[in-house]
Structure 1
Amino acid sequence: MFSIKNSFAVLVLLFSFSLANAQLKIGDQLPDLQLQNDKNSTVKLNSSTGKVVLVDFWASWCGPCRLANKNLVKIYDNYKSEKFEIVGISIDTDQAKWLKAIEKDKLKNTQLIDDNGFDSQSAVLFGVDALPAAYLFDASGTLIAVNPTEVEIIAQIKKNN
């Protein structure tokens, strides 16, 4: 007889397997994902092919994310003209707080929202389990680093130019 304990074990195993398959790995391509931006338009995540792309997961309530935003603004301002794009993906569940944080942090790069927290499609697809989380893609759209340093980001930008 198949017990509840065995059923639970099977479900946990299946859930773990699906999560493991959902996480992007080095060498994977930038996903074909569409999200709303801060101007209420739909944006395709993989529309920046030909540029080095840093996908940055954050939220308005995340203190370390808000501190990291200050540095990302500087990097973006210095390198946006060099085939480089930062795509912020917020997992905020409150769009008003997200929009206020964008304004307060003076974020000028592409900002998208997937408003279902850590259960959002993009967070699950990328394997985000803590914030901030960043993914660096080369100009061909291939994932080359997870949580890269500023030095790694700049080196990839220079390599592409």
Structure 2
Amino acid sequence: IKEEEKVAVGKSAPYFRLRNAEDKDISRSNFKDQYLLIQFWASWDTVSRANNAMFRRIYKKEQKNKNFALLGVSLDLDKKKWQETIKADTLKWEQACDFSGWSGEIIKQFAIQTLPTNILLSPTGRIEGKNLDEKAIENKLKEIAEKEKEKSLTTNH
């Protein structure tokens, strides 16, 4: 419960660093000034795989949105299987994995208990939402777009 409270909506997200599918280090600071939707999944989890379709739709709609990014964090243990699934499911957004399964550092940091799980972070690293469905994500993105429009209107006058 203590771990859960640390990552409740409204709290600051923990700092993380992972290796991405291109074997480069990525961390929360790679997504600074962006809303970041972290998708926790695994190639062996059928619900995660089914959920990938929703994330594909979101990515397709939002890939040009500079205020929003998507990050897939896998609990896979097998690198080859993970890479094959990324390809098979056409996951074109940033993907990362530490191949530690449930004992991975980021899994502990975010107190992930079930798959799939998603967490939305604000540009300042605050947790904005958890386990959002497609409609909730779309609403959040509309909200973000409105805020950005207002910001550009006030800075242009």
Alpha-carbon distance between aligned partners in 2 of 1:52 and 1:123, rounded to the nearest angstrom: 20
Alpha-carbon distance between aligned partners in 2 of 1:148 and 1:102, rounded to the nearest angstrom: 22
Q: Secondary structure at the match of 1:67?
A: helix
Alpha-carbon distance between aligned partners in 2 of 1:72 and 1:33, rounded to the nearest angstrom: 21
Whether 1:156 aligns to 2:140 is yes
User: Structure 1 unaligned runs (5+)?
Assistant: 1-15
Identity %: 26
Is contact 1:35-1:45 (8 Å) kept? Answer: no
Alpha-carbon distance between aligned partners in 2 of 1:42 and 1:123, rounded to the nearest angstrom: 17
Report how far residue 136 of structure 1 moved.
1.1
Give the letter for the 1:50 counterpart: D
Alpha-carbon distance between aligned partners in 1 of 2:42 and 2:54, rounded to the nearest angstrom: 16
2:31 paired residue among 48, 68, 86: 48
User: Structure 2 unaligned runs (5+)?
Assistant: 146-157
Structure whose alpha-carbon radius of gyration is higher? 1
Aligned length: 144
Alignment deviations for residues 22-64 of structure 1 (CA, whole Å, 9 cap, x no partner): x511112233211000001111134212222110100110000
Using the size of structure 1 for normalisation, the TM-score is 0.83
1:87 paired residue among 71, 74, 82: 71
Is contact 1:53-1:85 (8 Å) kept? Answer: yes
Is contact 1:30-1:46 (8 Å) kept? Answer: no
Using the size of structure 2 for normalisation, the TM-score is 0.85
